[in-house]
Amino acid sequence: MAQRITKKIMKLAAGIIAIVIVLTGVAVVYLYSDPVMRFMMVMNEVIPAWGVSSEEVVLLLENNSKTKMTIYKRIFSKQDKYYFCVHGLTPQGYQHPSLVKLARALALATGRKVLVPYLYGSETDRDVIDATQEIKKMYLSVKERYPGKYNGFGACISATMLVVALNDLPAERYPDKIFMYGPFLNGEMLMHFYNTSGMEVDFIVKLANAMRHPKLTEEEKKLVGKAIATTKPGVTDRNQVKQILGIDLYNKVDSLKVENPEFKQLNEMTLFKQKPLPACRYYILHSRADNIIPFSMGLSMHKYLLQLRLDSKFLATGAFQHTQKEKSFTTLKTEFKEIYAFFNDLFKE
């Protein structure tokens, strides 16, 4: 009797487990069929970017110059639709783990090929305006090599640089949509904020400032460049920086006012030269706790675009932190509706 009951219980348990597995599979398939859910699951590392491959190519630019570029594409990707992505000015450049994850997520979610050329910058004392001009060269080069419809993406400082880089392109060559993560509107206002707000910004800001600061010697700048090169994704490790710079140079870098004359040229007066203005849709995502470019700067960009009667959507969030490595599932759950609506509109063709 006891054995028969045990067998029935075991059969019942096996049946329940089978039903749970089937229902889980159905739920995963259902979620995976939604582009926004695919994107969010990859970004939060719930699933990998299944079926997305990458290929590195050489991108030829004008004047016989060239750069490296990674192309991300999923199986059965769209043949003539692309994302042109400009990475942040970080030592990891186009191979920054967060950008690689984003590129794979975009490719999987949208079916577009995602093009990420290498723009060197933060690991050197490169002129920001010179780098901005190169963004335009890269964009025109990929448009010629891979003709089709384009959306754009820029991260941090490079988000603003992307818009400025394309400021004189005719409408037929301008992207249909531009997705910006953590941009700013006015470089002079940003520097004023750094110097007067008292906010504890990430130390990478001070290192980048020191690379072009007149009060540092060339030998000191070499040490700063070495410190920048050793930084890792996430919040900059100040103790590691101290070990490289030494306490005297560390304190000197920490006390410097942010002074970058090229930044003053990145402002609302240089965003657009086209007449009429491009019929582009802009999507701005900014963390409320951004400790590199404050949240208010992205909001100012959004308000200015609306002032120009351009189509702009803005999402303030706590789910995507600028220097965050941990996943914010609690915040993601709280802000799910707003986040979903933002990306659902971005991903519509």
Could you tell me the CATH number of the domain that includes residue 312?
3.40.50.1820
Q: 281 in a domain, yes or no? A: yes
Specify the range with the lowest mean pLDDT, choosing from 11-25, 47-61, 282-296.
11-25
Query: Same domain, yes or no, for 216 and 103?
Result: no
pLDDT value of position 30: 38
If pLDDT is split at 50, 70 and 90, which confidence band does 124 have?
A: low
Residues 126, 132: Cα–Cα separation, whole Å: 10
One domain, residues 136 and 276? yes
Prior bond to 233 cis, omega within 30? no
Q: Could you tell me if residue 46 is inside a domain? A: no
Query: Do 10 and 82 sit in the same domain of this protein?
Result: no
99: Cα separation from own chain's centroid: 6
Domain of residue 247, residue span: 190-255
Cβ atoms 71, 54 nearer than 8 A: yes
> 200 and 249 in one domain?
yes
181 and 106 in one domain?
Answer: yes
- Per-residue pLDDT band for 164 (boundaries 50, 70, 90) equals very high
How confident is the model at residue 321, as a pLDDT?
A: 56
Question: Do 67 and 99 share a domain, yes or no?
Answer: yes
Q: Is residue 48 part of a domain?
A: no
pLDDT of 222 strictly over 50: yes
- Contact criterion met (CB below 8 Å) for 108 and 38: yes
Give yes or no: residues 134 and 199 share one domain.
no
* 73 and 162 both lie in a single domain: yes
Mean pLDDT for the stretch of residues 32-56: 91
* 157 and 295 co-located in one domain: yes
| 124 & 143 share domain | yes
Last residue of a domain, one of 255, 281, 308: 255
pLDDT at 328 over 60: no
Other beta carbons within 10 Å of 251:
12
Q: Could you tell me if 133 and 210 lie in one domain? A: no
Mean pLDDT of 17-32: 44
Q: Which amino acid is at 153?
A: F
Instruction: Examine the pLDDT at 24 and tell me if it is beyond 50.
Output: no
Domain assignment of residue 207, yes or no? yes
Domain boundary among 234, 255, 276: 255
Q: What is the mean pLDDT of the chain?
A: 85
pLDDT for res 102:
94
Least confident of 221-230, 275-284, 301-310: 221-230
Choose the most confident range, by mean pLDDT, from 2-6, 30-34, 123-127.
123-127
Residue 19 binned pLDDT confidence (cut-offs 50, 70, 90): very low
What pLDDT shows up at residue 225?
87
194 and 318 belong to one structural domain: no
pLDDT band at 3 (very low <50, low <70, confident <90, very high): low
User: How far is 226 from 209, CA to CA, in rounded Å?
Assistant: 14
- The total number of structural domains in the chain stands at 3
